[in-house]
Structure 1
Amino acid sequence: MRAFRIAYDGRPYHGFQRQPDVPTVESALFDALCELGIIDAPDEVPEGYAAAGRTDAGVSAVAQTVAFECPDWLTPRAFNGQLPAHVRAWASADVPDDFHATYDATSRAYECHLYAPGADPELASAAMAKLAGTHDFANLTATSKDDTVRTLETATVEGDGEFLVFSVRADGFLWELVRRLGSLVRAVATGAAPLSKVDRVLDPEPLPGHEGIPPASPVGLVLVDATYPRVVFERDARGVESVQDVFETKRADAATRARAAGCVETAVEKTENDG
């Protein structure tokens, strides 16, 4: 059994988990494994397969982790030979036959980049301090599960120019929990909601619909870690280099798009002023 660390740009995909008729990260992985002869068809599940988590549509990852039975020659470099450019394997580890990438993860960590010009980092930190620890997060998830209690082992936030960057690590995450945490923290930090809103959200009494916390955009959310205490991943030099090359190009493209968007915005504003 071998586990792989997978990095990906989530924007082209309808989430991680395989779905019919739409592109997903998992489908890209299975397509590659089929091309490599590990499985006989793209709709087949590799023996022993499991993944660390199911990221939402648009969410990216540094260390999504998948594990399955495969021959010794399947290295991250070989895997990347059949994967699309925005999905890259960059490390691997041999694991016991009973290893399960979902259930053996002791914690997962996310980083969220929130566009929030004018936000107060101190208010953001005060909101995050209230959210840290063990709480019932029923008001911050779209799940219908009965057990909505989770423990945020770490919860920090800092300002970075026009962005708030917050990091959370937990024993498990509910559906849309991280994105709704981000939306709540941004609302408090920008003055759109009082700090006391956090206490109300953490109260087990359901919020009325008009007071609900919507999920933040998935575009700024990244799965940065899944922790397996007894697993040592070996970085693949070519895989790491491939990640750096692909994502440096994507970063440059995004910066160029942002500059072009600013040009359009400024030009239209100037035209209105001239009129």
Structure 2
Amino acid sequence: MRAFRVAYDGRPFYGFQRQPDVPTVEDTLLSACRKLDLCETDEIPEGYAASGRTDAGVSALAQTVAFECPEWCTPRALNSELPGTVRVWASADVPDDFHARHDPERREYTYDLYAPTDSVDDERARDALSALCGEHDFHNLTPDDRLTVRTLDGDITRDGDFLLIRVESRGFCREFVRRLVSLVHAVATGSAPMSKVDTVLGPEPIEGRAGVGPAPPTPLVLSAVDYPGIEFERDDQAAEVAVEVFGERALEDRIRWRVGGRIRDEIQGFD
């Protein structure tokens, strides 16, 4: 059994999990496995499992998939049949009973929240996140109706016009991080009082406009998945190509941002 670290730009995909008729990361990975004859058409490799299911638009650095495969199946081999938006960059040999979804001892997400200093109070943001850390029933921050009690840790750091929100737990409910970010942002901007955190963590369900909706998915990244006793080995060649590919995509985004800003400024200055 071998486990692989997978990085991907989630924007072109309708999430990680397989779905009919729309592109997903998992479909892309399994298609590569079939092209490499690791499994039959419409099947999955023996022992296949993934560490989590990211939502549409969410990216990953450390998504982890594991399955039975021959020695020649390396990150580079998988990348030969993958698009540039999905890159396998590390691997580890794991025990036969390893399960990518059930075995993690820690998962970490990071969210780059655009929050210029003149629009938010950083300390209020940190206080809100601190109140959310620890063991709570987060039923008001997820559409899930079971397994909503989780133990959370996290922190917030300032990086220019952005607040980098990092949260970790053994497991996460659906949409939880994005809803948490919405709540922290509301408190930080003053559009919600600090007491809103206590209300959200309370036993009563919050519905309608009083509830907390999810923040946009694009700034969210699955940044770490840790397994006890498992050490991943970086495939230098595969990693170098991934660095190049994601660097090119980052440059394209900067160019689009610059062009968009110029169009905005010209329209604002037109008279």
TM-score, reference length from structure 1: 0.96
In 1: Cα distance, 2:14 partner to 2:142 partner: 19
Distance in structure 2 (CA, Å) of the matches to 1:270 and 1:169? 45
May I ask how many residue pairs the two structures share in their alignment? 269
* 1:119 match: 120
- 1:66 equivalent to 2:65? Answer yes
Shift of 1:6: 0.3
- TM-superposition CA deviations, 1:134-191 (whole Å, max 9, x none): 001000001122x311000x21112222222100000210000000001111111111
Q: 2:79 corresponds to which residue?
A: 80
How far apart, in 1, do the equivalents of 2:54 and 2:230 lie?
Answer: 22
Aligned to 2:184: 185
1:128 positional shift: 0.7
Contact 1:114–1:164, Cα closer than 8 Å, also in 2: yes
Unmatched tracts of structure 1, length 5 or more? none
Report the 3-state secondary structure (helix = DSSP H, G, I; strand = E; otherwise coil) of the residue aligned with 1:126.
Answer: helix
Letter in 1 for 2:218: V
Displacement, 1:114?
1.3
Structure 2 residue ranges without an equivalent (≥5):
none
On the 8 A contact 1:119/1:164 being kept in 2, the answer is no
Structure 1 residues 198-244: Cα deviation after superposition (integer angstroms, max 9, x where no partner) = 11111111113111100000000000111101111110001110110
**How far did residue 116 of structure 1 move?**
2.3
Instruction: State the one-letter code of the partner of 1:38.
Output: L
> Within 2, Cα distance between the matches of 1:120 and 1:245?
36
Q: Does the residue aligned with 2:171 lie in a helix, a strand or coil?
A: coil
Answer yes or no: is 1:20 the counterpart of 2:20.
yes
Once the two structures are superposed, the pairs formed by residues 95-244 of structure 1 within 5 Å of their partners are 95-117=94-116, 118-145=119-146, 147-152=147-152, 154-244=153-243
In structure 2, what residue type is equivalent to 1:123? R
Q: What letter corresponds to residue 20 of structure 1 in structure 2?
A: P
Structure 2 distance, partners of 1:251, 1:149, is 37
Per-residue deviation, 1:107: 1.4
Segments of 4+ moved more than 3 angstroms = none
Amino acid at match of 2:30: F
Q: Which residue pairs with 2:30 in the alignment?
A: 30
Matched, 1:5 2:5: yes
Give the letter for the 1:164 counterpart: L
Letter in 2 for 1:108: R
Q: What is the SS of the residue equivalent to 2:218?
A: helix
Distance apart, 1:246 and its partner CA: 0.8
Identity of aligned residues (%): 56
2: CA distance, partners of 1:192 / 1:242: 44
